[in-house]
Amino acid sequence: MSSPPPPRRGHKTMPPPPRPGEFERLSLQCLEFVRLHATEGDAQSVVDAMDTFAYESWMMNVGDVKGAIVDDEIAKAKPQIMAEIGAFCGYSAVRFANKLHAVSGPTAHYYSFEFSPHFASIATQMVAFAGLSDMVTIFVGAFSENYTKLEELGIGHVDYYCLHWVLKLGRFWILGWIEQGSVVIADNVGSGVEPRMGPVAPGYLEYVRSSAKFSSVFHESFVEYQAELKDGVEVSTYVG
């Protein structure tokens, strides 16, 4: 697999760990930036504005480069139901729900589980500004306390998962939410050899790559909003 072209610009290194309250402050600034520079009801303009903001003030979105990889996978799979764990400021919800609408139509739906009430509020406002409230549902609180919400809505399985931190695959499996054709997208898996995420990622990658139940492909990329540190996205399809 050839190396992807580097991002157009960006931060040279990863930023230092955020100070307490820093991401909360940035999230408010990002929302205000979007309201000033994007067009209400135009989801793509919201995504573009969030990318512009994050190239100047780093944020932990999937970003434009890895986001394009996921866009392509959504176009291939044309899912009806997508779910993610971790909404943050709503970047993935807006970007991928917009793509979902384009390839699967208005009956498709995107579900997001966000632990923080603050970030859930920011994401909800971002989704509303993008005009996607009818397609996106954000559940607030711990995933362990909210995972049954999909069952309560009568949803027996999910076609597509975006796991920004690959910790919850086992839970989905136990619930029977993964069935033949389900696709799991894992962001932040590093170079594929040296993951960014510590000991959980190597076990995850080893499992989906060695299991006969999954067909798994690694897409080399870069850490969001910078042009030097390698990162990657693992796309795993459950084949039964």
Using a pLDDT cut of 90, give the percent of the chain over it.
48
pLDDT score recorded for residue 106: 92
> In the Cβ-directed half-sphere of 162, how many Cα atoms lie within 13 Å?
31
CA distance 58 to 47: 15
pLDDT of residue 4: 42
Q: What global pTM score does this model have?
A: 0.85
H/E element holding 18?
none
Domains of the chain in start order, with CATH, are 22-238 (3.40.50.150)
Identify the pLDDT of residue 6. Answer: 46
- Taking residues 129-133, report their average pLDDT: 98
SS3 72: helix
**Phi-psi bin for 176: left (phi > 0), alpha (psi -120 to 50), beta?**
left
Residue 161 pLDDT exceeds 70: no
pLDDT above 60: residue 142: yes
